[in-house]
Amino acid sequence: MTSSQENERRTEALGPNWAQCDASSVRKAARSGKLNGPTSGLAEGFVQANLAILPASDADDFLRFCQLNSRPCPLLAVSEPGAIAIPDLAENLDIRADATRYKVFHDGKVIDEPYNISEVWRDDLVTFALGCSFTFEHELLASGVSLRHIETGTNLPVFNTNVPLRPAGKFSGNLVVSMRPLNAKDAIRAVQISSRFPLAHGAPVHLGHPELIGIDDINSPDYGEPLEIKPDELPVFWACGVTPQVALAEAKLPFAITHYPGHMLVTDISRHSLSIL
Amino acid sequence: MTSSQENERRTEALGPNWAQCDASSVRKAARSGKLNGPTSGLAEGFVQANLAILPASDADDFLRFCQLNSRPCPLLAVSEPGAIAIPDLAENLDIRADATRYKVFHDGKVIDEPYNISEVWRDDLVTFALGCSFTFEHELLASGVSLRHIETGTNLPVFNTNVPLRPAGKFSGNLVVSMRPLNAKDAIRAVQISSRFPLAHGAPVHLGHPELIGIDDINSPDYGEPLEIKPDELPVFWACGVTPQVALAEAKLPFAITHYPGHMLVTDISRHSLSIL
């Protein structure tokens, strides 16, 4: 789907002000099935969350894993087992229907990519909502830092690294990072701004020399699309929400659910409220 | 003088706890002539200041110059004309004797490097006290960031750049920067820490590619000494207090005084109080 087709669809579901609308409008449109596309750019004032949903028997390990690796796995909220409401995230939430799309895993393999998970819901499922870099990207743009992947309308390049995570039970692996090319001035400003948002991955984890974190070819991302780095720019790397997704898949749990990439849960948490300064 | 001879002299003047002593002890020792060496490492809890002392007839332009170029020229205090006391900086200050050494300029040329300027003092002289990077270096070290020039006991490499300053009256020129080699993790941490100290030059002005700010040979500093950059490190550049010194010399004022390099005024301002966060 082209981005103008996507925007038509958004306008149909949310009206012409989909960028400025309330988070609850997005969730309502997702729940009714009117909206099933990516959430980037929707309800800009609100925090979007990555989702990991897994049986209570694995939840303690995953919680510990997130705590040990808070840079890639910043925890916004954890549900009670079986609860479809998570008051810390949003009013009247139905976690089974309010994200626009999901991925269902059996033994680490994707078996379905549904728009609603009511049919596979279980009373022992625990939902983890993790922060996402959309939150600080808004602040970067507002501060005059331009982000090439937004200008080109492409997916951010994302790389596996050789930086080991701290393991917890079944969960382990290496850090996954996103890369944004920035000139020195913008890189320094981006460190300042993203540092204010620890619940959105916080400060960069690396800049400059990609090979030092095990990235051999900066033009061949493991996920997303390549992005030009101009001669006056440095690659700047942030911990990425793909990290827990990979760890979850590699743990090969009998059953697990995540959001579909780019199709996040739009929460009622105001973006500004996540800034620690 | 070797650094162990220097430390012997410090111990003689200030006792064995010269690193932890009060600012007033340093000033008293300077005023009595017992201490006339560099101030780096003395009275660590207190802010040290660069000094620019010039006739009232040039002071308005210089004040405007500092305001327009606050990154290299962060103003801690400005005196009344002729005043030897500056209550905002220290109790019982005698600006003519309390720094350990000075430079006296006629028409932009150094004509003397005395330990006391009482004999050349004039009733129209205005003192500008400018912040210095010693302040955030302490915080970097305390946070586990190692600084090579401190480990090697050499002077920080300092470079002229092609970044123009904003001119005011007789004062103009290009930005002068100091360089500290840091690995990516420490560079990111250093941006965070130094950002908290706008009155000590604040965040870096550049990192990576030196040629982008007009530095052709990173191994040939214009002031100070060269410093190795290891393969996993980036050169990180901060605005430097040499900037106003160069602008002052180039303005070729009939009369001006500065502190002697490395021989700063130790103020009563606590280092921690300069942190904005």
Q: Look up the ipTM and state it.
A: 0.83
In this predicted model, what pLDDT tens digit does every residue of B83-106 receive, in sequence order? 999 999 999 999 999 999 999 999
Whether A32 and A39 have beta carbons less than 8 Å apart is answered as: no
Q: Does B212 touch chain A (CB under 8 A)?
A: yes
| Contact check, Cβ <8 Å, A188/B192 | no
Residue type, B64: R
| Contact check, Cβ <8 Å, B207/A187 | yes
Mean pLDDT over B227-254 rounds to: 96
- Tokens encoding A183: 């000139």
> Which pLDDT band holds residue A1 (cuts at 50, 70, 90)?
low
Number of A/B CB contacts below 8 angstroms equals 52
Question: How does strand B174-183 pair with strand B158-164?
Answer: antiparallel
Nearest CA in chain A to B196: A192
**Pick among A161, A188, A209, A238 to test the B interface (most B CBs inside 10 A):** A188
pLDDT value at B262 more than 90: no
> Which pLDDT band holds residue B41 (cuts at 50, 70, 90)?
confident
> Which pLDDT band holds residue B80 (cuts at 50, 70, 90)?
very high
| Contact check, Cβ <8 Å, A185/B206 | yes
* Burial class of B237 by CB neighbour count within 10 A (0 to 12, 13 to 18, 19+): buried
- Tokens encoding A181: 């090319």
Q: Residues with Cβ < 8 Å from B216, sequence gap 6 or more?
A: B210
pLDDT value at A92 more than 70: yes
> Which pLDDT band holds residue B153 (cuts at 50, 70, 90)?
confident
Please report the pLDDT score of residue A257 as a whole number.
Answer: 97
pLDDT value at A3 more than 80: no
> Rounded to an integer, what distance in angstroms lies between the CA atom of residue B212 and that of residue B94?
43
| Contact check, Cβ <8 Å, A208/B234 | yes
Please report the pLDDT score of residue A118 as a whole number.
Answer: 97
**Angle, CA B49 vertex, CA B47 and CA B53 arms, to 5°:** 155
In this predicted model, what pLDDT tens digit does every residue of A204-248 receive, in sequence order? 999 999 999 999 999 999 999 999 999 999 999 999 999 999 999
Nearest to B188 among A184, A185, A191 (CB): A191
Q: Does B204 touch chain A (CB under 8 A)?
A: yes
pLDDT value at A197 more than 80: yes
Please report the pLDDT score of residue A8 as a whole number.
Answer: 87
Mean pLDDT of chain A: 95
Q: Does B145 touch chain A (CB under 8 A)?
A: no
- In chain B, the percentage of residues whose pLDDT exceeds 70 is 99
> Which pLDDT band holds residue B1 (cuts at 50, 70, 90)?
low
Please report the pLDDT score of residue B32 as a whole number.
Answer: 96
| Contact check, Cβ <8 Å, B188/A208 | no
> Rounded to an integer, what distance in angstroms lies between the CA atom of residue A99 and that of residue A94?
9
Which element (helix H / strand E) includes B13?
helix B3-14
- In chain B, the percentage of residues whose pLDDT exceeds 90 is 87
Please report the pLDDT score of residue B163 as a whole number.
Answer: 98
The number of CA neighbours under 13 Å toward the Cβ of B48 is 26
> Rounded to an integer, what distance in angstroms lies between the CA atom of residue A234 and that of residue B6?
42
Please report the pLDDT score of residue A2 as a whole number.
Answer: 64
Whether B66 and B95 have beta carbons less than 8 Å apart is answered as: no
Which element (helix H / strand E) includes B32?
helix B23-32
> Which pLDDT band holds residue B277 (cuts at 50, 70, 90)?
confident
Whether B238 and B205 have beta carbons less than 8 Å apart is answered as: yes
Distances (CA, A) of A155 to A178, A229, B139, B266: 10, 15, 38, 53
**Angle, CA A195 vertex, CA A193 and CA A200 arms, to 5°:** 95
| Contact check, Cβ <8 Å, A208/B277 | no
In this predicted model, what pLDDT tens digit does every residue of A142-189 receive, in sequence order? 999 999 998 998 889 999 999 999 999 999 999 999 999 999 999 999
For chain A, what is the radius of gyration of the CA atoms? Answer: 18
Mean pLDDT over B5-28 rounds to: 91
- Tokens encoding B191: 């941006």
Domains along chain A with CATH numbers: 134-244 (3.30.2040.10)
Chain A environment of B191 (Cβ under 8 Å): 188, 191-192
In this predicted model, what pLDDT tens digit does every residue of A49-80 receive, in sequence order? 999 999 999 999 999 999 999 999 999 999 99
| Contact check, Cβ <8 Å, A188/B204 | yes
pLDDT value at B2 more than 80: no
Residue A99: CB atoms within 10 A of its CB come to 30
Mean pLDDT over B177-191 rounds to: 97
Mean pLDDT of chain B: 95
